[in-house]
Structure 1
Amino acid sequence: MHSTSTPAAGDLAWDGSPKHRCPPRFLRVAPDSPTRLLRIAQQGRCTACGNRIEWYERTGGHNPVPLHPHELPTAAVPPHQRWHINSGLAHPAGDGSPWCRVRHRALCPATPAPPGNSLLDSLRRSLALNTRRLHDTGRFTPPPRPDPPPTNPPTPDARPVVQLLYLRYLAPGPLEHIPCVAQTRNRHRCPHPILAPDALPGTWTLAPLHPDHNPGHLPLPELWLALYDLTHLPYSEQLRWRAQRCTTHATTPDAADIARTSWEPFNPHTHHQHIQHHLPGPPPPTHSGSR
């Protein structure tokens, strides 16, 4: 009679080794554990796809790394994606054996796929099917998608530099949206902008970034500043811009101000994010409909 502890002949390979031998699970003491109990790799599930992962401590005191729970043939895994376990620690390299471990991120169906690899692509498809199965049975809920970026991101020239009374100011916003600060008869703020179509306009020009330094004809755009120049306008018109009043309230000095002016003295060091080295382009053409 054969011993009951001896595996059957069908469970042995040609060299006598067990066919279905489970790989050893290394035990170690967790560095953050209050006890001295030995532990194995902590199992969990990926929060992005819901598939099983195993957390291993890494060398050098780095954060734990999630690995795929099964070993893969080393020859089918790129060298930079091979991991091996030694004494319960994960090492980002192969150990010369025909089997290795792979980081879960290389197989996670919720992350961008790396360059083509037949084995990794097959495992990724299998994990994607398992994710769908978990989602259909209610055992996994994918995380919410992040909000899409705004369709109209703020442009860097939203606060242009304006030169009036031979001083430079940073505008509170686009020129066509700078509001009047005067108070109306209904005790509300005036809704009209100070850039009126019937008023004298300023001109966009390139000026030296530092007034005391003239770069001459040097073709260096970072030495020049695009600003809205009002110095050629009459003195009264420049005072109207400085007082931040529309053309209607500029002639009614008795109207009180309901808000403070929003001009900021321009400083190239603190307002560098608003500096434009090129003149703004022409506005897009407007197509009028057929009458």
Structure 2
Amino acid sequence: MTTTSPSRLLRAGQTGRCRHCSSRIDLYQRPDQRPIALHPAELATTDVPEACRWHLSGGIAYPHGDNSAWCRIPHAVLCPHRIPTCQAGPRIEAIRRQLAVRARCLIDSGALTSAPPATPQPDAPQTGGPDRPVVQLLLCRYLAQQRLEDLRCVAQTRHRHRCPHPVLAPGPAGMWKLLPTTAQHGQLTLPDALMAVYGLGHLSYGEQLRWRTQRCPAHATAPGAADLALACWEPFDPLLHAAHIHTRLPTLRPARTEGDDQCRTTPWKSH
């Protein structure tokens, strides 16, 4: 990895905070390009169950050990807000207790709220589409981590800050469509059903690639600019992501013509 590579900062991992317990996490990409949050410190492999061992190679997180005496562990195993995903030993339980005490102190001081976010009522309109829309581009479907208008460019500016501009820009836009919940290669088949998908397949290859790399129009033509964050796309799996399947199109403003099954707007109404 050269110092001039646009992805050099991503390969170093992205530091963040768990939204549940506010503990520090390191975000890396897995081989399937999905992000994973790892505990920032290495642990002895003898303290970590084999199914929970991860190691880093070339900036990619792999779900197994590398035959060394140390390994990384997913934050989900240690987060006090979550149910443990594997049988934990004394060392892991001790870390979980430490994180739980820290989270409780933050909650008591008001720095962290323990209340879950309010769930909108079924009939309450949500501007900007679903919280996590399904997008089809480059012949693949992805689940976004944010609403379409909240997708922010991941490129680094000249002042070494993250670009503040959105990916959704004036000009050619996607179209909401009702498409079959077709399983991808290697996934189990599902009963025939339709789901709302934000399709970008009618746009040019360059425009679809701009969305896939999560860049604004200005940085789409600046390949030398480094990335300061991971593109928040997750390969869509209709079984794993069933909660994000919507069987109706967004509610339009202004209302679309009767019988039209496509739209170019993002206001959304949950169903």
TM over 0.5, shorter chain: no
Under TM normalisation by the shorter chain, which class is it?
A: 0.3 to 0.5
TM-score (normalizing by structure 2): 0.44
CA radius of gyration, larger in: 1
TM-score (normalizing by structure 1): 0.41
